[in-house]
Structure 1
Amino acid sequence: MKNINSVFVGLLLAMSSCNFFTLDTPNDPNNPSLGSVSQNASRTQVQNLVTGLESRHRDYLFTVTALFGTLGRELWYLNASDPRWQTDWLGMNGRQATVNMFGYLNTYQQPYFAIRQALTVIDAVNNTNTFTTEEKNAISGFSKTLMAYQYLIVAMGQYENGIRIDVKDVQNPGPFLPLAESFTQIKRILDEGNTELGAGGTGNFPLRLTTGFTGNGFGTIAALRQMNRAIAARLAVYRQDWQGALDAVNASFYSATGSLEAGPAHTYGAPPDAFNPLFFVRNAAVSTLVVVHPSVLRDTIAGDARVRTKFFRRTAAVSVTSDGTPLAGQYQDNRYAANTSEIKFFRNEELILIAAEANAQLNKTTEAVAAINRIRTAAGIGNYTGATTKEALIDEILFQRRYSLWAEPWGHRWVDLRRYDRLNATNVDVSLDRGTIFKQLARPQAEINWDEYVKTR
């Protein structure tokens, strides 16, 4: 994939010493200006913008996966060279998630870079005669789908802080909206994207996409609409719109009997592309590594195939000591064969679990148990035999999500526990790291500074 730096044009949201929403003046004469694509852009220029959008779409992945995964104690990112990966992210010795927290800004900054790129794509394609009306709808709908995905990342990190939705004018961004209203606006963007994709024709997407889409069956307009509805299903669960979640699942690429791995992916490659950021050489003698949290291993059901396939047992544990507390991980991620392996950003397995949760919440016990059993059977742990009350089924679903969605590029465990008000020491084991349980991340200082500046100008 062509790196975004070679194709992204103008008006990026940049974290700087001044403010988050600042004009980033291009200083590379080899890169086009915003003006060159805002009116009468060529097909090649829009293609480059879409390629750039795909690249920006994946830039959140390592920090969100590692940080959110750490906060939910599904993993540790052990780093002997810089203890802040442990001390700050785990909240050791009473540390809090403040604006000075180490390394968290990419959970905010990178999604907004992608959102701004999508807005540039939409402006470019809507202000040129190079494309047909159907093609414009398809490209705009695709861009809005990825925008919604990225907004939801920011919302998951900021939570009760709220987020900015209106960022089209970087010199006059909209206000922070409360979480519920942010969800409503993200749904609006998703629905607009779905409608536009629906008006985008019936064939293939009009521009070239990477194999993360085309190689996984998402190169057509119809399949991209299914991807849009999958994201809508995730959002509906967060909004506790259980019927809406089922409706979206049924319109997505969900399959009760199909491959759990089906879904679109982020792609990686050798330079000048980027390597898979979650790949670490198995059993390498290193002091920096993502490791499986000991509580995940402790709580597993014997014979669970997910544990056998996802986790690699090292000959020697990776150990670090931070603030006098020793941390050690014996197991590392085993999901990726190479540093160029793709990473699925949404899978059918999650859709099945969403269907299970929504059905349980709607007291559709038979349907919920059937979905649970699809997951359990695939994991080799047999059918569910527990109680079928709503509470018992939700307990089971959250347990299965913990192992099915471990270290997915989202941080599901932290998000799941929070939305069920279970973000506590009973479910988040801090006994080994002597850390803090964080509910959300801090609003970046640059955002605070910007709003203070606006009050005085």
Structure 2
Amino acid sequence: MKISNKIKFLAIIIVLGMTSSCSLEDGESLNGPQTTSISEGISRPELPQVVAGILSNMRDRIHTQRDVLSVLGREYWVLQSSDPGWGTELAAGLLSDGSFFINNPYAERYATVKECNLLLQSLEAESTQTIFTTNEIAAIRGFANTIKAHQLLSVLNMVYQNGIRTDVADPDNLGPFESYDAALTTIMGLLDSGFADITTGGEVSPNTLGVTYSEFNRAITARVAMYQGDNAKVLNALADSFMDMTGDLNAGAYLIYSAAGADQLNQLFVALNSPTAGAKVAYPDFVDPASFEAGDTRVNKAVARTGGEVCLAGMCGTHDVWIYQSNIDPIGLIRNEELLLLYAEANMVSNPGEAEAAIDVIRAAGGLGAVGAGNVDEDRIIYERRYSLFGEGHRWIDMRRFGRLADINQDYDRAGDLSPVPSQFPIPQSEGQ
């Protein structure tokens, strides 16, 4: 993928959130936004603008990516009468290398990676090194590598075994595609080096995530370590994250939105009882009493429609997705609830008592009783993650990593929809693969 040499850093911040989406629907390329580069050096006044711009751009097309992952995981349907592809392509399992379902999130995540790379490049400039101390440069580098790792992981989760390019700093000399396992190793390396740099240099400003960059780094590290099957690394990372067994399960790292000026709105929000021109309805199995434990209030993330069932192209639902109650609600990148689930999974075999304690905290918040000794196993982890992390982009990935995509209930699919659901997206055709 060719990503431009010049990125709109300063323009992004002057009008925060005005970053253009690299939308192939509109005929644009994957080359990312273009404007003045700061690769030749960065000043103190520019640094907070660049940092804020990177955080802002992390929001671009996250709504598309979350919707795509949720449809594949049979968490909910996206009903858009103006775009039948949500049913004819995505829900049907016909994943194309020319579809905006992969191309748009892919482009935006790499655009943010490019911004991080330009920031990293600016740190090598003599002018930068005369302005900032060694520790300050370490802090900036730690921030950039942490965000870069997160964005690369977001792409990798979509294309899986097809792999990704992790070395894209030089658009005229792109690195090769790395396999899934190799890319995870590279991402882990970025996270570990980022954490070391932040530990040495401290935090950069601004930070609108809601947790420190160090804590965010270690939280994402725990997620990656779990994908690698490294339970010891999961637990070590969680110890330095914001995990809190007695804290708010919703505490964590968030992307923020507002209706002010030219800022972005949360496009994952959809009003209750919306028509088929733009509704999101829970996959019927999610709200089936046979699927969840009686009294589990987490099922209330889907709310019964007052008008009853709504259908479009054979995709039907009686409950609206109700994770976000307004178009300025923040979108969680990783929450305390997920960290407790990772803690439980990492302890499941070696220290079952700790696993049960973590699961019990989550169940209590969901209106359920204790899980009981000896009852935390893979099935338990899958159930708790399904209802705790509904609509947050995990179920498809979880069922894939457990080798259980065939266990995703597709009883409410249409005739002809692929079963089991596909495991990965193809590499976008723009990559020339």
Q: TM-score, normalised by structure 2?
A: 0.88
Give yes or no for the alignment of 1:231 onto 2:238.
no
| CA distance in 1 between partners of 2:216 and 2:258 (Å) | 23
- Cα 1:288–1:14 change in 2 (3 A) is closer
**C-alpha displacement of 1:55:** 1.2
**C-alpha displacement of 1:357:** 0.5
Give yes or no for the alignment of 1:429 onto 2:410.
yes
**C-alpha displacement of 1:430:** 4.8
Q: CA-to-partner distance for each residue in 1:51-110, whole Å, 9 max, x for gaps? A: 11001112241111100111110111111122111111112xxx5323134532123111
- Cα 1:194–1:268 change in 2 (3 A) is same
Q: Report SS of the residue matched to 1:429.
A: coil
- Cα 1:167–1:189 change in 2 (3 A) is same
| CA distance in 2 between partners of 1:316 and 1:443 (Å) | 41
Aligned to 1:53: 54
Does structure 2 conserve the Cα–Cα contact (< 8 Å) formed by 1:4 and 1:56? no
Between the two proteins, what is the percent identity of the paired residues? 34
Tell me which of 406, 409, 425 is aligned to 1:441: 425
For 1:332-347, what aligned pairs fall within 5 Å after superposition?
Answer: 332-347=320-335
Q: TM-score, normalised by structure 1?
A: 0.84
**C-alpha displacement of 1:407:** 0.8
Tell me which of 301, 312, 316 is aligned to 1:321: 312
**C-alpha displacement of 1:229:** 0.6
Aligned to 2:94: 96
Does structure 1 conserve the Cα–Cα contact (< 8 Å) formed by 2:215 and 2:240? yes
- Cα 1:317–1:120 change in 2 (3 A) is farther
Aligned positions, number = 410
**C-alpha displacement of 1:277:** 1.1
Tell me which of 416, 421, 432 is aligned to 2:398: 416
- Cα 1:25–1:321 change in 2 (3 A) is closer
Amino acid at match of 1:275: L
Aligned to 1:113: 111
Aligned to 1:380: 367
Tell me which of 307, 321, 339 is aligned to 2:299: 307
Q: CA RMSD in A?
A: 2.5
- Cα 1:194–1:84 change in 2 (3 A) is same
Q: Report SS of the residue matched to 1:192.
A: helix
Aligned to 1:131: 132
Does structure 2 conserve the Cα–Cα contact (< 8 Å) formed by 1:264 and 1:347? yes
| Gaps in structure 2 of 5+ consecutive residues | 1-7, 15-19
Does structure 2 conserve the Cα–Cα contact (< 8 Å) formed by 1:152 and 1:186? yes
Q: CA-to-partner distance for each residue in 1:388-425, whole Å, 9 max, x for gaps? A: 4xxx61110110000100111xx20000000010001x
Does structure 2 conserve the Cα–Cα contact (< 8 Å) formed by 1:56 and 1:117? no
| CA distance in 1 between partners of 2:10 and 2:269 (Å) | 23
Does structure 1 conserve the Cα–Cα contact (< 8 Å) formed by 2:21 and 2:61? no
Q: CA-to-partner distance for each residue in 1:141-168, whole Å, 9 max, x for gaps? A: 1111111111111111111101101000
Aligned to 1:72: 73
**C-alpha displacement of 1:123:** 2.1
Aligned to 1:38: 39
| CA distance in 2 between partners of 1:130 and 1:239 (Å) | 40
- Cα 1:79–1:137 change in 2 (3 A) is same
Aligned to 1:87: 88
| CA distance in 1 between partners of 2:189 and 2:78 (Å) | 36
| CA distance in 2 between partners of 1:383 and 1:330 (Å) | 30
Q: Report SS of the residue matched to 2:397.
A: helix
Q: Report SS of the residue matched to 1:340.
A: coil
Q: Report SS of the residue matched to 1:105.
A: helix
Q: CA-to-partner distance for each residue in 1:367-388, whole Å, 9 max, x for gaps? A: 1111111111111111114754
Does structure 2 conserve the Cα–Cα contact (< 8 Å) formed by 1:286 and 1:318? no
Q: CA-to-partner distance for each residue in 1:211-234, whole Å, 9 max, x for gaps? A: xx2xx3x2xxxx321211100000
**C-alpha displacement of 1:286:** 5.3
Structure 1 range deviating more: 109-118 or 331-340: 331-340
Does structure 1 conserve the Cα–Cα contact (< 8 Å) formed by 2:273 and 2:279? no
- Cα 1:163–1:13 change in 2 (3 A) is farther
**C-alpha displacement of 1:13:** 12
Does structure 1 conserve the Cα–Cα contact (< 8 Å) formed by 2:145 and 2:194? yes
Aligned to 2:188: 187
| CA distance in 1 between partners of 2:28 and 2:66 (Å) | 28
Q: Report SS of the residue matched to 1:354.
A: helix
Give yes or no for the alignment of 1:176 onto 2:177.
yes
Tell me which of 350, 355, 359 is aligned to 2:338: 350
| Gaps in structure 1 of 5+ consecutive residues | 450-457
For 1:258-269, what aligned pairs fall within 5 Å after superposition?
Answer: 258-269=247-258
Q: CA-to-partner distance for each residue in 1:11-51, whole Å, 9 max, x for gaps? A: x997889985x5x794xxxx5x22xx223422222222211
| CA distance in 2 between partners of 1:104 and 1:38 (Å) | 29
Does structure 2 conserve the Cα–Cα contact (< 8 Å) formed by 1:4 and 1:51? no
Give yes or no for the alignment of 1:405 onto 2:389.
yes
Q: Report SS of the residue matched to 2:319.
A: strand
Give yes or no for the alignment of 1:196 onto 2:180.
no
Does structure 2 conserve the Cα–Cα contact (< 8 Å) formed by 1:237 and 1:354? yes
- Cα 1:25–1:316 change in 2 (3 A) is closer
| CA distance in 1 between partners of 2:238 and 2:252 (Å) | 13
| CA distance in 1 between partners of 2:124 and 2:367 (Å) | 50
Aligned to 1:453: none
Does structure 2 conserve the Cα–Cα contact (< 8 Å) formed by 1:140 and 1:196? yes
Amino acid at match of 2:284: P
Tell me which of 283, 299, 311 is aligned to 2:273: 283
- Cα 1:224–1:195 change in 2 (3 A) is same
| CA distance in 2 between partners of 1:64 and 1:280 (Å) | 16
Amino acid at match of 2:335: R
Q: Report SS of the residue matched to 2:307.
A: strand
Does structure 2 conserve the Cα–Cα contact (< 8 Å) formed by 1:287 and 1:320? no
Give yes or no for the alignment of 1:295 onto 2:285.
yes
